[in-house]
């Protein structure tokens, strides 16, 4: 077990300090882009906050990571005080997540007891946590973060706290939680690419570099297999508006038949499924195309 808490106050020469073995072990998701983002995997027993505005994909990202970990042999769980288990199951079905255990569980002490059974636990959200103990809000915040982060270290169960933001993008509540945990993560729309691109990055990482990853988010979740490559200087990619305009023009120049499909757009534009779906959806919303059917089998006809 990893115990980073010490009551000793004397100084030691660093060469005499024995580093816990946990620092050299990582939970691997098997998704190379995600493992690289965390620095060769997720450190066992670490505590992590995840912040983002509504609709940026916090739940989707963490469910996909948990499912990948579960497929790699780890035990993972998602405790929600925001959505009931049926809503979670519906979301999981849409994005292909199958092996994550879910529950509507918010009591701090109950979650602490459960952590010994899991390698990774997501708490959605920190603001939804409860306790039968009588405390004011400040006392409860301190109690919850200290109990859960200590349990994470004691059990080597990595814990993610989903954190709410205000309308102006600021963290709800005090800064106690982000200061207390090991890692702070954030997801935001990467408007320099397009509306479906998400930049996932670290504001703080005690156990690695503050890496970042830009990927597309679509109806089937994040496409981790094809991360967005941001070019620099003279090789910089065109702006989102000019890129979308070129792609839409190519689609509107397609001859019918055969019918326009997502697969055909992927092939002719040399883009992935999420990007093709995004451009087609925008054309439908602007009354340039009419959609018939659903999913990958849908066809599009010009107005």
Ramachandran bin of 173, using left for φ above 0, alpha for ψ from -120 to 50, beta for the remaining angles: left
Task: Give tens-digit pLDDT for 250-302.
Answer: 898 887 678 899 999 988 888 888 888 888 888 888 888 889 888 888 899 88
Band of residue 230 on the pLDDT scale cut at 50, 70, 90: low
Q: Which has the higher per-residue pLDDT, 173 or 117?
A: 117
Whole-number pLDDT of residue 167: 74
For the chain, how many residues are written?
Answer: 303
Which of 13-17, 164-168, 257-261 has the weakest average pLDDT? Answer: 164-168
End-to-end CA distance of the chain: 63
Sign of CA dihedral 64, 67, 69, 75: positive
Q: Which of 179, 195, 211 is nearest to 274 (CA)?
A: 195
Q: What is the pLDDT of residue 193?
A: 82
Q: Helices then strands (H, E): number in the chain? A: 9, 12
Task: List C-alpha distances in Å: 62 to 92, 115, 235, 291, 298.
Answer: 11, 17, 33, 31, 29
Give the helix ranges, DSSP H, for the chain.
32-38, 58-71, 85-95, 108-114, 137-155, 176-180, 240-252, 262-269, 273-285
Q: What sign does the CA torsion over 202, 203, 209, 212 have? A: positive
Residue pair 46/182 in contact (Cβ under 8 Å)? The answer is: yes
Q: What is the pLDDT of residue 245?
A: 79
Checking if the pLDDT of 1 tops 70, the result is no
Q: Coil, strand, or helix at residue 183?
A: strand
Residue with token string 């200087």: 233
Residue pLDDT, tens place only, 77-100: 999 999 999 999 999 999 999 999
Using CA atoms, how far residue 253 sits from 247, 250, 256, 271, 289, in Å, is: 10, 5, 9, 17, 12
Record the pTM. Answer: 0.76
The per-residue pLDDT for 30 is 96
Mean pLDDT of 27-42: 96
- Considering only residues 227 and 80, tell me which one the structure prediction assigns the higher pLDDT: 80
**Residue 135 contacts residue 158 (beta carbons within 8 Å):** no
Q: Which domains are delineated in the chain?
A: 14-222 (3.40.50.300), 238-302 (1.10.10.10)
Mean pLDDT, rounded, of the chain = 90
Whether the pLDDT of residue 46 is over 90: the answer is yes
CB 197 within 8 A of CB 189: yes
pLDDT tens for each residue of 169-219: 778 888 999 999 999 999 999 887 888 999 999 999 999 899 999 999 999
Residue 237: which pLDDT band, with cuts at 50, 70 and 90? low
Q: What is the DSSP letter of 292?
A: E
Give the residue, 195 or 132, on which the prediction is more confident: 132
Please state the rounded mean pLDDT for residues 34-56: 95
The model's confidence at residue 2, banded by pLDDT at 50, 70 and 90, is very low
pLDDT value for 111: 98
Confidence at residue 136, expressed as pLDDT on a 0 to 100 scale: 95
Q: Kindly tell me if the per-residue pLDDT of 9 is higher than 80.
A: no
Please list, in sequence order, all residues whose beta carbon lies within 8 angstroms of the beta carbon of residue 246, skipping any fewer than 6 positions away.
Answer: 238
What percentage of the chain carries pLDDT values higher than 70? 93
117: pLDDT strictly greater than 90: yes
């Amino acid at each position: 077990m990893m115990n980073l808490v010490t009551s000793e106050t004397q100084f030691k020469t660093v060469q005499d300090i024995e580093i816990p073995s946990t620092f050299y072990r990582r939970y691997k998701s098997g998704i190379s882009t995600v493992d690289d983002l965390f620095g060769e995997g997720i450190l066992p027993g670490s505590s992590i906050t995840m912040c983002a505005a509504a609709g940026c994909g916090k739940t989707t990202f963490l469910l996909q990571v948990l499912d990948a970990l579960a497929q790699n042999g780890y035990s993972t769980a998602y405790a929600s005080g925001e959505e009931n288990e049926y809503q979670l199951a519906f979301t999981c079905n849409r994005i292909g997540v199958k092996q994550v255990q879910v529950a509507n569980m918010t009591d701090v002490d109950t979650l602490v007891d459960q952590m010994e059974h899991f390698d990774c636990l997501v708490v959605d959200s920190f603001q939804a946590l409860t306790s039968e103990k009588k405390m004011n809000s400040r006392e409860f915040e301190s109690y919850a973060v200290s109990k859960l982060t200590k349990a994470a270290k004691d059990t080597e169960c990595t814990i993610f706290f989903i954190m709410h933001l205000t309308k102006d993008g600021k963290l709800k509540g005090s800064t106690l939680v982000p200061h207390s945990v090991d890692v702070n993560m954030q997801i935001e729309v990467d408007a320099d690419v397009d509306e479906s691109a998400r930049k996932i990055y670290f504001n703080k990482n005690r156990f690695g570099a503050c890496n970042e990853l830009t990927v597309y988010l679509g109806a089937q979740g994040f496409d981790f297999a094809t991360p967005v490559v941001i070019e620099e200087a003279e090789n910089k990619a065109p702006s989102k508006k000019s890129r979308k305009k070129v792609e839409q023009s190519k689609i509107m120049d397609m001859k019918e038949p055969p019918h326009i499909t997502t697969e055909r757009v992927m092939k002719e534009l040399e883009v992935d499924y999420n990007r093709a779906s995004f451009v087609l959806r925008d054309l439908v919303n602007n009354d340039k195309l009419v959609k018939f059917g659903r999913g990958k089998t849908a066809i599009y006809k010009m107005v």
